[in-house]
Amino acid sequence: NAGVTQTPKFQVLKTGQSMTLQCAQDMNHNSMYWYRQDPGMGLRLIYYSASEGTTDKGEVPNGYNVSRLNKREFSLRLESAAPSQTSVYFCASSEASSGSYEQYFGPGTRLTVT
Amino acid sequence: RKEVEQDPGPFNVPEGATVAFNCTYSNSASQSFFWYRQDCRKEPKLLMSVYSSGNEDGRFTAQLNRASQYISLLIRDSKLSDSATYLCVVNIGNYGQNFVFGPGTRLSVLP
């Protein structure tokens, strides 16, 4: 099993450009998440999807949109990138019904906005 | 006050040492607790869940004190391979959707 995969691994954008970060999981998990990680701040939740067809805002949703395309895929879109969105983005999935809530993370996307 | 705070680190310890990390959380409604490990430029991975009764996994022991809103992680007989950043994670939701991550404590185990 691949677990959680993310594309691309690296990206450089100019201010104002748009892009979509892709995430897919093959563990049949219901819940998926997008986080950003900045130095000294820990991971912060951008959006999450408790199940297929639902999405909710996390701590830092401004400037982002998400789509839960199906149970496997959860994409994150930056409509107009800003330098403040330079960060490492992690997608994660979990199966809350198992009771463990363990989150499995993808390898991350390193995004630089100039 | 941040929701989850950790020892700022970094901790530099010799191989074989015992090291303890502390974490405090502010939301008394927090329901589940975890320690994750993150290697440099890699994704976080679950190290262990933390139960009210305390739990041990080999050289690692986790403790939870709900009254003081405090979590700890003890690593005995440190190995070079333990070098990483340790993230304290608190879940304040009912369905696993409200994970709050601490900023992490970096550990370097020196030969």
pLDDT tens track for A71-92: 999 999 999 999 999 999 999 9
Chain B hits for A101, Cβ within 8 Å: 32, 34, 91, 96, 99
| Inter-chain Cβ pairs, chain A and chain B, closer than 8 A | 51
pLDDT band of residue B93 (cuts 50, 70, 90) is low
Measured between CA atoms, the residue of chain B closest to residue A33 is B97
* pLDDT attached to residue B95: 57
Q: How confident is the model at residue B57 (pLDDT cuts 50, 70, 90)?
A: very high
Average pLDDT (A57-61) is 91
Q: Give pLDDT, residue B1.
A: 60
Percent over 70 (pLDDT), chain B: 95
Predicted local distance difference test score (pLDDT) of residue A41: 79
Q: What is the mean pLDDT of residues B12-30?
A: 93
pLDDT above 80 for A1: no
CA B37 to CA B50: how far, in whole Å? 14
Residue A13 has a pLDDT of: 97
Which residues of A fall within a CB distance of 8 Å from B91? 101
The answer on pLDDT for B98 being more than 80 is no
Which of A50, A103, A106 has its CB closest to that of B99? Answer: A103
The predicted model gives B88-100 an average pLDDT of 77
Backbone angles phi, psi at B23, to 5 degrees: -145, 135
Best of B88, B97, B98 to disrupt the A interface (most A CBs within 10 Å) is: B97
pLDDT, one tens digit per residue, over A10-25 is: 999 999 999 999 999 9
Nearest to A49 by CA among A64, A63, A69: A69
Average pLDDT over residues A85-105: 84
Model confidence pLDDT, tens digit, residues B32-50: 899 999 999 999 999 998 9
CA separation for the pair B40, B85 (Å, rounded): 8
Q: How far apart are the first and last CA of chain B?
A: 37
- Which residues have C-beta within 8 Å of that of residue A63, sequence separation ≥ 6? A78, A79, A80, A82, A84, A85
Provide the CB-side half-sphere exposure for A62 (13 A, CA): 2
Q: Residues 17 to 56 of B: which have CB under 8 A from any A CB?
A: 32, 34, 42-46, 49
Is residue A99 over pLDDT 80? no
Mean pLDDT, chain A, whole residue set: 92
